[in-house]
Chain A
Amino acid sequence: MWHTLWFILRSTIISSAPIGYAALGGVFNERSGVANIALEGILLVSSFGYVAGAFFGHSAWWGLFWGIMAGLLLSLIHAVATVTFKINHIVSGVALNTIAIGVTRMLSLVMFGQETQSKTNSYTQIFGINIQWLVALMLFLVIAPLSYWLLFKTSLGLRLRAVGENPEAADSLGINVEKMRYTGILLGGIVTSLGGIALYPTIWQSGISGGRGFIGLASMILGNWMPIRSVLASTIFGFADALRLLDFVQAYIPNEFLTALPYVLVLIVLAGFIGKARPPRADGVPYIRGE
């Protein structure tokens, strides 16, 4: 009994982590006024970055470094395209997701000899703890509260939120809108990369992100763009994932039903409680000065 409960809790935390990190990444992006559906791509490249970095650097630390670098790089392209060149945010996201698929498969072929998956990486420990478990725990214990503090208790967070709500007003107060949005995108990129690292540090496979970036966005909306609430919302999906792994659940409920359940749940919640969910006012709107 206790064993089963612990199993459910542990797998809920591990399955929730990539989604929760993506949700937090979404919060940073959208609070600064940038819609980012490339979170999916960021999960994919950072997951690859970790495995390749650890595999060739013979250390989980190198994995961490390259995982985050990969996510940052993709975020940087999004920032340049949407903030500097002011193109439609969704367009850039679609393109980046395509690029993410292409670049990981290509590099996988060059580095590991096949397009669809990497070789097995055995460097998955930091301080003697499994990195997947560590990063997953960090989300709930450190990163989520820290994000809340950053957004609501610091001047950086205040400015970030202001830029997402009313960039023109922020601009009139001498706040550099572009710089703030770069900050939001890149911070979001780092956070989301941690999610990619928590995905599966042992092996990378094409398509490993499996839509978790999109689910992260859903969690963010369920959490009304609030950091802690968004992370908590991600546990709904994590919990459904965890349940699926249990033998007795598999015996009674069709697998497809459990897979679809959280998505259906989101739709129901969106239909019922949308009155409360309010996106940042300038979300997804490029800011062009002086009109």
Chain B
Amino acid sequence: MNKLPKKKTNNFKYFLLSLVAPVVGIVISALLLFFLILLIRKGSISDTLYAFRVMGKTLTSTKDLGYIIARAEPLAISGIAAAIAFRAGVFNIGTEGQYYIGGLVASIYAIYFSIKSPAFHWLNVIFVVLFAMLGGALWALIPAILKMKKGVHEVITTIMMNQIAYTTAKYFVNGPLSGVKVGESLEPKTLDFPPSVTFHKLYDIFHGHFPFPKYIPLYESLFIAAILIFIVYIIIFYTNWGFEIEMLGTNPNAAKYSGVPPRLVVFNAMLWSGAIAGLINLQEIFGIKGYYTHHMTSGLGFDGIAVALIGYNNPIGVVLAALLFGFLRTAGYNLQFELGIPNSTMDLITGFIIIVMVIASVAMNRYISKLRRKEVLSGAGDR
């Protein structure tokens, strides 16, 4: 957990060693993927090699790169949300439910309270962000209170809240917010958001200023994600808020003795984690769809947990891990399209990457601390 930027330059060797685990994870998982495809394509090596070429192509096509980033965006936000809690030693498994509610609250704003004049689009965006954060924090509030006041373990309460979140979203979409008119499609959804609220495509923003391909599926929400990640990075590594969160996650007793109120920091970390989680799926709701439904992409919360863990709870690591996941998914679609290899193969691979990388990093960390100890013992005195 020693990844202060200052330390990296001082300990370049250790930084390099910490990269071993991800590399090992990717290599082993690629091997596994090789054999899986071989199995599915009934032993045809040429098909398998072609499959890998298809995956390679994913990295060179502008359109695919756009999709990789689009898919990585919610995962990165989700990873950041999870990472904040993890750093404080709290397992917020509830990001899943928090983004359902965050999106719901923001949608209520969009439908009923938003400013209809396009001139105030930016103000609407800010309010959408604030209300989404409010909704997410609200959903994290009950587990946070129960943990702080009663010591109830957050894993179990957040799991309960996840179940309730989905039902709540369903209730609102089918009931009070229902926007399905008679004779229209059967998919349950709310009313469409006013155009002054929905997120613009990056193409529409950049068009005329510099060449930006129209087919790239990215929206304004990318800026939100980028700003968020930058702010969290600063907080974690350069402020006492981050320092205190890390103190708590490392050794709550010592934190207490250092005058850091453990329950308050945990409470705050949980709420902020929830608030950020509220933003996870804004891209889909306000960019792609333009209305709210409980039938949106699910599982982004759990995926974010994996992203956070693979990224060592470090914002930069989280972004890289999210991009890796985005790549796997995009490549997965291409494989299905070109070779009929089931997309779910990529879920399998994703799970394996998590386990292998974490095992490798546990082993590496042990090796690194042994190495460090040796270095200090042998070098003691001659400074």
A271 in contact with B153 (CB, 8 Å): no
Q: Label chain B's interface by main secondary structure.
A: helix
Could you tell me if B151 and A274 are in contact, using CB atoms closer than 8 angstroms?
yes
- Residues of chain B contacted by A221 (CB below 8 angstroms): 153, 156
Within 8 Å CB of B309, what residues of A?
88, 91, 94
Give every chain B residue within 8 A of A105 (Cβ-Cβ): 342, 344, 347
Are B352 and A99 within 8 A (Cβ)? yes
A99-B352, A267-B146 known; A115 and B164 CB under 8 Å? Answer: no
**0/1 per residue, B309-345, Cβ < 8 Å to A?**
1000000000000000000000000000000001111
Residue numbers in A under 8 Å from B305 (CB-CB): 94
Q: Say yes or no: is A126 at the interface (Cβ < 8 Å to chain B).
A: no
| Residue of B151, B152, B170, B342 with most partner-chain A CB within 10 A | B342
Q: How many residues of A contact B (CB 8 A)?
A: 46
Q: A91-B354, A102-B351, A267-B160 are in contact. Are A110 and B167 (CB under 8 A)?
A: no
Q: Is the interface of A mostly helix, strand, loop or mixed?
A: helix
B362 at the interface (CB under 8 A from A): yes
B227 at the interface (CB under 8 A from A): no
Chain B CB within 8 A of A98 CB: yes
Q: Does A246 contact B (CB under 8 A)?
A: no
Cβ < 8 Å to B, chain A residues 256-291? 256-257, 259-260, 263-264, 266-267, 270-271, 274, 279
B159 contacts across to A, CB distance below 8 A: 37, 211, 214, 217-218
Q: Kindly state whether residue B348 has any CB partner on chain A within 8 Å.
A: yes
Give the CA-CA distance A94 to B350 in the complex, in Å: 11
A249 within 8 A of B: no
Q: By the criterion CB–CB under 8 Å, are B350 and A256 in contact?
A: no
Query: Quick check: is A109 within 8 A (CB to CB) of the other chain?
Result: yes
Show 22 A/B contacts (Cβ-Cβ < 8 Å), sorted by A. A85-B359, A87-B362, A90-B155, A91-B306, A91-B309, A91-B355, A96-B351, A98-B302, A98-B350, A99-B348, A101-B344, A102-B344, A102-B350, A106-B40, A106-B348, A214-B163, A256-B167, A263-B161, A266-B160, A267-B160, A270-B157, A279-B153
Would you list the 9 A-B pairs with minimal beta carbon distance, nearest first? A102-B347, A99-B351, A102-B348, A105-B344, A95-B354, A98-B351, A256-B171, A260-B167, A85-B359
